Amino acid sequence: MRGQGQAARLAWLIAAGLVVALFATGCGSSSSTGDRNTDMAQSVGKGEGELNLIGWAGYVANPWKSQFEKETGCQVNFKVGGTSDQMVQLMRTGQYDGVSASGNASARLVDAGDVSPVNVNLVPNYKTIFDDLKDQPYNTFDGTHYGIPHARGANVLMWNKDEVKPSPTSWDVMLDPKKAQQYKGKISVYDDPIYIADAAVYLKTHQPDLGIDNPYELDSKQFDAAVNLLKEQRANVGEYWSDALKQISAFAGGDDWLGTTWQYQYFALLDKGEPMDTSGETQGFVPKEGATGWSDTWMISSQAAHPNCMYEWMNFIVSPKVNAEVSQYFGEAPSQSLSCKPSTLTAAAKAAGLPENPKFCDQYHAADQSFWKNVYYWQTPLADCGDSRGDECMDYNDWVSAWTDIKG
Amino acid sequence: MEAADALASAPKRSVGRRLADLFHGRRLLQVSGLLSGPLAWLVVGYIGSLIVLLVASFWSVSALTGEISQTFTFDNFNTIFTEPVYRTIAWRTVRVAALVTVTDAVLAFPIAFYMAKMASRRARAALVVGILMPLWSFYLVKVYAWRTMLSADGVINWALGPLGLHGPGYGTTAVWLVMSYLWLPYMILPIFAGLERIPDSLLSASEDLGASPFTTFRRVILPLAFPAVVAGSIFTFSLTLGDYITPQLVSNSQFIGNVVSTNITNNLPLASAFAVVPIMIMVIYLLVARAFGAFEHL
């Protein structure tokens, strides 16, 4: 018994020592809170032979990946990020050279000093990128460029033609409790706090007295209205999806009839012969209220081990033919204006093994600035409203906890 | 002479042989040699990570950058205990875990009893293999199979259709069904082991003394097998408590694990604080289980 008591005392001692050690290291390495990185490259040297990237699925694929490797000698290691939160987390490890950040990741990366400014003079193809993608709040901070625009797209409303009649022209089929009720249990909703912005886009049109301008800059009154709308919607939701394959299976299996989606799932379901439809060309491919969307930016890590290869990549991915390849492959509007030449589009489609579509840029409104006025790119919600309201807005933590609350 | 021989042969002895000599008769060295590896793993890898979790639950996160600030605060626990949604979720998780446990116990007992007391050797071997077989296949495959079966066009609705019924569809009921399926083997095996330990002579004696089969079951078998049921329930209860993939695939309901997984990337401290809840529940559960003598059968 004595021996046992001794062993127990020893165990406690070790455990206590460990706790002290953990606290000590924890406090010692205390956070490097939010200092922007300002070290901008002044020249691009010889490639380092390797490049580690994080991006959305399909952004780094063959044939352009192997073409890049052949041209520059930089071997590309690609890690797919599933969500913006995951990408931020991966970038903070310091193991990666660059990331294709959506607007709801870019501000967080910049403000925490995870990414460096980009010297656009070292990226020759930057000059011919569409002007309305340059100097945007999600890629340029206090006049400093932090990335190269990759491509953009809108989240779309998709429905099953056989079940949903007449074809909806508005998000009200999902968000107006009365109209959504007829599709109770058949509605598919994106499972991410950023979806609150979709409700805000809807309210902007349907409750103008709330005075919503930017759906990511919501004060508490506007935010509560959006959250309450989604709480009402919950009863009608068939499924919340965050995995594209899960949504495809739900539509193919008849569990869901309509919902918010990406082009990727829509095309995949059409390929399976499912009777799917989305807002038509006459409506500009989005419901009448507009839609949320994304505009992605290649950013360079402040801890990049292969900065020269990363600069090579940022120039390569927005070169006319390659940008035409990646955007046709994914189903989004290219950022490079020269990609939209019909001959370039055709050559790129051929290289990527896709059907030729010289009208691709028209269909995706690549050059149509008025179309994008109705598309609200994902953005990180911050306390600072960015206007005269000051620090009255709900920040991303509020959005995340509200999302937990909405789903109940 | 002998001593001289031993000396002469000493340099030729293998390393293993010399190690064996070193350990011979030295009890402390033996024990520490045996345990230092597992103990280091237990303290650093296992308890260490729990301590990190606990410590992180007192930190906070910067809204602007999502970076963790390592200053002490009770905010996370405050949120969890004051916001009703977290209580709803914790309660739902515990309720389903309890339901799954009861379901599995009810299903497992007859099977285990048949295996332990009635089946031939061959049938018993076949049953053991049959019960273990699903554990060899990949977890996600099984859950996705259920997802397909439960879908609107799935086999469950197809089979029930002619009877004018339809399946539960996706939801908390579906989670209960799938979890009960997934964790059933973890309940059968301990009960089987527990029942096997009851000597047949006890059952005969009970019969000889005039007890009906029901009385034998109630007064003899159940009291002796109950600790085994509790042992099995520890598995089914804790596995249900921690799962977050099944709820995600067959329902819209949030369980404790779902909240932890959504918060882990952007609010690690809150996720840690909520992860403490199932730990506390399990500690209480284990204390109760110990009172029932469950650990004699682990």
Given a cut of 80, whether residue A23 has pLDDT beyond it is no
Query: In terms of DSSP bridges, do strands A258-261 and A156-160 run parallel, antiparallel, or are they unpaired?
Result: antiparallel
Kindly indicate the confidence band of residue A16, based on its pLDDT and cuts at 50, 70 and 90. Answer: low
CA distance B203 to A209: 79
Q: Kindly list the residues from chain B whose CB atom is less than 8 angstroms away from the CB atom of residue A31.
A: 62, 67-70
Asked if residue B297 has pLDDT above 70, the reply is: no
Q: Could you give the CA distance from residue A98 to residue A94 in angstroms, rounded to a whole number?
A: 10
Gap from A101 CA to chain B (nearest CA, Å)? 14
Confidence of residue A14 (pLDDT cuts 50, 70, 90): low
3-class SS string, A141-159: ECCEECCEEEEEEECEEEE
Band the pLDDT of B262: cuts 50, 70, 90.
Answer: confident
Confidence at residue A2, expressed as pLDDT on a 0 to 100 scale: 46
**In chain A, whose CA is at the least distance from the CA of B45?**
A18
Q: Which residues contact B200 (CB under 8 A, 6 or more apart)?
A: B117
Which residue on chain B is closest to A92 by alpha carbon?
B67
Give the rounded percent of residues in chain A with a pLDDT score beyond 70. 91
- For the entire predicted model, the pTM comes to 0.80
- Chain A from 59 to 98: CB within 8 A of any B CB: 83, 85-86, 88-89
3-state secondary structure of A192: coil
CB atoms B152 and A401 under 8 Å: no
| Subunit contact B70:A31, Cβ cutoff 8 A | yes
A301 vs B58: CA distance, rounded Å = 30
Per-residue confidence at B175, pLDDT binned at 50, 70, 90? very high
Q: Which tops the pLDDT comparison, A145 or B63?
A: A145
CB contact at 8 A, B202 and B129: no
Sign of CA dihedral A64, A70, A74, A75: positive
Contact partners, residue A251, CB within 8 Å, separation at least 6:
A158, A160, A188, A257, A259, A265, A269, A274, A276
Q: How far apart are CA A385 and CA A404, in angstroms?
A: 23
Best A255, A382, A393 residue to mutate vs chain B (most B CBs within 10 Å): A255
Q: Return the pLDDT at A22.
A: 53
Residue A151 to chain B, least CA–CA distance (Å): 24
Name the pLDDT band for A18 (thresholds 50, 70, 90): low
Q: Does A199 touch chain B (CB under 8 A)?
A: no
Q: What 3-state class would DSSP assign to A189?
A: strand
Burial of B262 (C-beta count, 10 Å sphere; 0-12/13-18/19+): buried
Min Cα distance B270 → chain A (Å) is 10
Predicted confidence (pLDDT) per residue in A322-342, tens digit? 999 999 988 889 999 999 999
pLDDT above 90 covers a percentage of chain A that reads 60
Least confidently predicted of A132-141, A333-342, B19-28: B19-28
Please give the single-letter amino acid code of residue B204.
S
Residue of chain A with shortest Cα separation from B149: A253
Tens-place pLDDT, residues A203-251: 999 999 999 999 999 999 999 999 999 999 999 999 998 878 889 999 9
B83: chain A residues, CB-CB within 8 Å: 401, 405
Q: What is the ipTM of this complex?
A: 0.77
Asked whether the beta carbons of residue A18 and residue B88 sit closer than 8 angstroms, the reply is no
Q: What are B166's two structure tokens?
A: 């339809």
CA distance A87 to chain B (A): 9
Q: Kindly report the nearest CA distance between residue A37 and chain B, in angstroms.
A: 13
| Residues 6 or more apart in contact with residue A254 via CB below 8 angstroms | B151, B152, B153
Closest CA relative to residue A250, chosen from B90, B91, B251? B251
Report how far residue B235's alpha carbon sits from residue B183's, in angstroms, rounded to the nearest whole number. Answer: 8
Check residue A27 and give its pLDDT.
43
Q: Is the pLDDT of residue A185 over 60?
A: yes
The stretch B277-291 carries a mean pLDDT of: 91
Nearest to B65 among A30, A111, A246 (CB): A111
Closest chain B CA to residue A88: B265
Q: How far is B137 from chain A (nearest CA, A)?
A: 21
Pick from B55, B65, B259: CB nearest A22: B55
Least confident of A66-70, A384-388, B218-222, B238-242: A384-388
Q: Which of A27, A89, A397 is closest, CB to CB, to B265?
A: A89
Taking CB atoms and an 8 Å limit, are B266 and A88 in contact across chains? yes
Interface test with B, best of A400, A403, A405, A406 (most B CBs within 10 A): A400
Report strand pairing: A258-261 vs A187-190.
Answer: parallel
Is A33's Cβ below 8 Å from some Cβ in B? yes
Give per-residue pLDDT as tens, A277-291.
Answer: 988 766 767 898 999
Q: What is the DSSP string of A329-382?
A: HHTSEESBGGGGSHHHHHHHHHHHT----TTHHHHTTTT-HHHHTTEEE-----
Lowest mean pLDDT among A38-52, A280-294, B170-184: A280-294
Q: What is the pLDDT of residue A271?
A: 83
Taking only the tens place, the pLDDT of each residue in B124-155 is 999 999 999 888 889 999 999 999 999 988 89
Positive or negative CA dihedral for A68, A73, A78, A84? negative
CA distance B110 to B117: 10
Q: Do A14 and B43 touch (CB under 8 A)?
A: yes
The band of B1, judged by pLDDT with boundaries at 50, 70 and 90, is: very low
Domains (range + CATH), chain B: 13-49 (no CATH), 83-291 (1.10.3720.10)
The residue that leads in pLDDT, A31 or A179, is A179
pLDDT tens for each residue of B73-116: 898 999 899 989 999 999 999 999 999 999 999 999 999 999 99
Task: Show the tokens assigned to B29.
Answer: 């060295």
Q: Which of B32, B46, B65 to mutate to test the interface with A (most CBs of A within 10 A)?
A: B65
Residues in A touching B151 (Cβ below 8 Å): 249-250, 253-255
